[in-house]
Structure 1
C-alpha cells in the first residue's frame, strides 16, 4: 500500500515524527513554520492509515494554553523494509521496521559476480528474510540495495562498480522483476549516510560527513539537512582526491588517489613489498604493524596521511559540524594504525575553524550497511520528491 504522501507538508510532518518523535503538533509547527491546522491536516491521513498514532498527553504547552499536547509517534510495525548490501563475494540482508531497527538478518555467499547470478541469489535471500514472519511478507513492499561504486539512483542503474566489475547494470529493474518489490539502488556509502542522518549520529546536525575506511575510501555528505548527491549522482568521492602525485595508479584511471594508497588492496601490496612476503594477507599486515614492524607501520602511516589530507580538503570545502569515520571490519581493525596520522594530517591541512570539526569513530558491521540500504528505501517511500 503506498504511503499517504501527497504534499510537501505531509512529507515534512511525517519525516519529523519518524526521525525525531514522539513530538507534539505544537512542536512540529514551531520547528517547521507550518500552522497548527496544516500540521493536523498533514498528519491525519497517516493516522488513518496506521503509520502514526497519538500518545497520551504528557505536557501542557504553557499556563492557560489549553489542553495538554498529545505527541505523535510512529507505529514502527506498520510497514517493513528489506535492505541488502552487495559486496564482491557476499550478500548481507536485513528486514527493518519503520525506524530502521533491524529485526532479522542473513548472509548469502556469492559464487559469481555476474548481474544475473547476483540477482538470483538476491531473490533467494530476500525470500528467506521475508519468510521469517508472515507480517514481513504482508507489509514489506520496498527493497533497498547498497552497492559500491557509481550509482544512478534515479534510474536504478549501477553505472560502474569496480569491485563487482559491473558497468551499466539496470539493477533496480532486474531486482524488482526477481523479488516483486519496489527497488531503490544507491551507493553503499550514501546509504549508510542516510541511516546516520535519519536514525543515527547525524540526527541534530544540519551538516556532517561520513567517511568510510576499508576496501575503498568513501564519503557521504549532508549539507543543510540534505544528502549531497551531485548533478550526476557522484559527490563526496574523497577516495579519488589526488594526494600522491603521479603514483600510484588508481583503478579509476587517475593517479595518486587516496584509495590507491589507503584502500585495503594497495596497503596489502605495499606491506608485501616491504616485508618480502608475496602471500601476506590484510590480517597479517595489520598483525605485523601491531607487533611493531617499522616497515608495515610506515605503510599504514602513509595511508593515514592520505586519508587525513582528503578529510581536510573535504572539511575546507564543506565545513561539516562533525565527521563520522567508519568502515568495514578490516578497515576498523587497522584504524588505530591510521588514527594518529589522520588527526595530524587533518589538523595540518584544515583551514581555520575547519580544524575544529569533531571526528568520531563509529564501528559499523556489514549488517548496518544493509540497514543503510533499508533506510534509503524508507526515505524514498516517504519523501515526496523521490516518488
Structure 2
C-alpha cells in the first residue's frame, strides 16, 4: 500500500484545483490575472490560494509596484515553490528503464538509466523498484534534502494499450504483455502511489502543462520512432475515447490497399506506422540498398551524403507522416501539432516532405495548424511519466 503523504497540496475543491493549476502552469501570476483567466472572483482566488501558501506549495513574490495611478494595492504575484514536493517518473522501453526525479514543474533534477534484461513482469517490477530506490536515495540539488522525504508518487509510462483508471497494461506489443496489473504491483513493491499511462499520453500531459500546449485549448502530439504514437487534447482535456485509443494516427491507413501494401503489427495494412516507423524505414532501406545488414544510422548517414534511393525511403516515410497529420488536422482541428520522438533526430530527411504533404492534405483553414517538429531525448519520456504523477495531486476523490 502507498505510504502516507502528510500535508500535501490541499486540493479539496474544483476552485482550489483551478487556482493551483493556473499558477502551476502559467505562474508567476497575480490573483487578479488568475481571476480573469479562470472566471473565479478575486475573493474566491484569495480563499483558494491561502491554504496552498500555508502548506508551502505557493508563495507570494515581492510586488513590482503599481502599474498605473489609482490601481490600488500593488499586486504580489503567486508562484509555485517547485521543491515543495518531488515526483518519480519512469519510462519502460524494450531495452531499459529511464527514471527521473522532477519537481512540481516537472523539471528534471536527477536521471538514471537501468538496462532491462527480461520482459517478464516480475523482473520488470523488481528492476523498476530498484531504480526507484536509487532515485529516492539521491540527494536534492541543495545537498541536504533526501528526495525520499518529499516524494510520494510514481508515474510510469509504457507503450501500448494502457488503462490508467485501473492501472492495467491491457496490451504492450514491445513487452509482449496482456492484462498486467502493473500499478498495483508497483504500489506494493515501492510504497508509492502509482499512476500508469500510455507513454505518448504521458508525454502529452507534460506538453499540455509545461510545454507547447500551455495556453492552447487544443493540440496534438505525434511521436516518430519505434512506433508512430499520438495523443489529442481538445478543450483542454486529454482525449482517451471510449476504448482509450483515440487519436492513434499511426494506425490510419495511408497506402493503397493491395497485395503489396505494407503489413502492420496491428493486423492492418498500409498504416502510417507500417511505412514510417524505425523498423519499417530500416526494412525499406535494406531492400533498396540490397544490404541486409544496413542499420538506421547507416541509412541516415548515406541519405545525408546524397544516396538518392535512400533519400526516397525517408521522403516516403515523411509523406506517410504528413498524410497522417493532415488527417488529424482535418478531423479534430487542433491549434498546433507537435511532432517529436527519437526518430525525428533525422528530421532534416523528413521535415520538408512532412510539411509539403501536410499543406497539400490539410483542408481549408486546417492548413493554418502550426507544426512544431523537434527531436526528443529519452529522458523526456520519463519526465512525461512524472508529469502524470503530478496530476495525482488532482485525483477526483479529493475534489
Aligned to 2:128: 122
Aligned to 1:378: 390
Q: Secondary structure at the match of 1:278?
A: coil
> Please, which of 162, 171, 174 is the counterpart of residue 151 of structure 1?
162
Q: Indicate the larger mover: 277-286 or 258-267.
A: 277-286
Q: Tell me the C-alpha RMSD between the 2 structures.
A: 1.5
Aligned to 1:291: 305
Q: Matches of 2:98 and 2:280 in 1, distance apart?
A: 25
How far residue 53 of structure 1 moved from its aligned partner, in angstroms, is: 1.2
> Please, which of 132, 138, 150 is the counterpart of residue 149 of structure 2?
138
Q: Matches of 2:347 and 2:36 in 1, distance apart?
A: 42
Aligned to 2:357: 345
Q: Matches of 1:244 and 1:116 in 2, distance apart?
A: 40
Aligned to 1:5: 11
> Please, which of 201, 209, 220 is the counterpart of residue 212 of structure 2?
201
Q: Indicate the larger mover: 202-211 or 313-322.
A: 202-211
Q: Matches of 2:397 and 2:238 in 1, distance apart?
A: 13
How far residue 62 of structure 1 moved from its aligned partner, in angstroms, is: 4.9
Q: Matches of 2:305 and 2:238 in 1, distance apart?
A: 40
Superposed, 1:320-359 pairs within 5 Å as 320-328=334-342, 331-359=343-371
Q: Deviations over 1:314-341 (max 9, x none)?
A: 000111111111111xx12322111121
Q: Matches of 1:376 and 1:59 in 2, distance apart?
A: 37
Indicate conservation of the 8 Å contact 1:209/1:322, yes or no.
yes
Superposed, 1:64-79 pairs within 5 Å as 64-79=70-85
> Please, which of 312, 320, 325 is the counterpart of residue 311 of structure 1?
325
Q: Matches of 1:245 and 1:169 in 2, distance apart?
A: 36
Q: Deviations over 1:65-116 (max 9, x none)?
A: 4311111111111100000111000100000011111000000000001111
How far residue 383 of structure 1 moved from its aligned partner, in angstroms, is: 5.1
Q: Secondary structure at the match of 1:105?
A: strand
Q: Secondary structure at the match of 1:334?
A: helix
Q: Matches of 1:380 and 1:250 in 2, distance apart?
A: 35
Q: Secondary structure at the match of 1:308?
A: helix
5+ residue gaps in structure 1? none
Q: Secondary structure at the match of 2:202?
A: helix
Q: Matches of 1:213 and 1:89 in 2, distance apart?
A: 18
Change (3 A) 1:386 1:92: farther
How far residue 61 of structure 1 moved from its aligned partner, in angstroms, is: 6.7
Aligned to 1:14: 20
Aligned to 1:253: 267
Indicate conservation of the 8 Å contact 1:7/1:384, yes or no.
no
TM-score by length of 2: 0.93
Q: Matches of 1:28 and 1:333 in 2, distance apart?
A: 38
Q: Matches of 1:273 and 1:165 in 2, distance apart?
A: 28
Aligned to 1:365: 377
Q: Deviations over 1:124-166 (max 9, x none)?
A: 1111111112431011000111111111111111111111111
Aligned to 2:191: 180
Q: Matches of 1:381 and 1:282 in 2, distance apart?
A: 41
Indicate conservation of the 8 Å contact 2:12/2:398, yes or no.
no
> Please, which of 29, 46, 52 is the counterpart of residue 46 of structure 1?
52
Q: Indicate the larger mover: 99-108 or 247-256.
A: 247-256
> Please, which of 243, 247, 250 is the counterpart of residue 254 of structure 2?
243
Indicate conservation of the 8 Å contact 1:146/1:188, yes or no.
yes
Q: Matches of 1:56 and 1:343 in 2, distance apart?
A: 45
Indicate conservation of the 8 Å contact 1:6/1:384, yes or no.
no
Aligned to 2:142: none
How far residue 363 of structure 1 moved from its aligned partner, in angstroms, is: 2.1
Q: Secondary structure at the match of 1:304?
A: helix
5+ residue gaps in structure 2? 140-144
Indicate conservation of the 8 Å contact 2:13/2:398, yes or no.
no
Q: Secondary structure at the match of 1:234?
A: coil
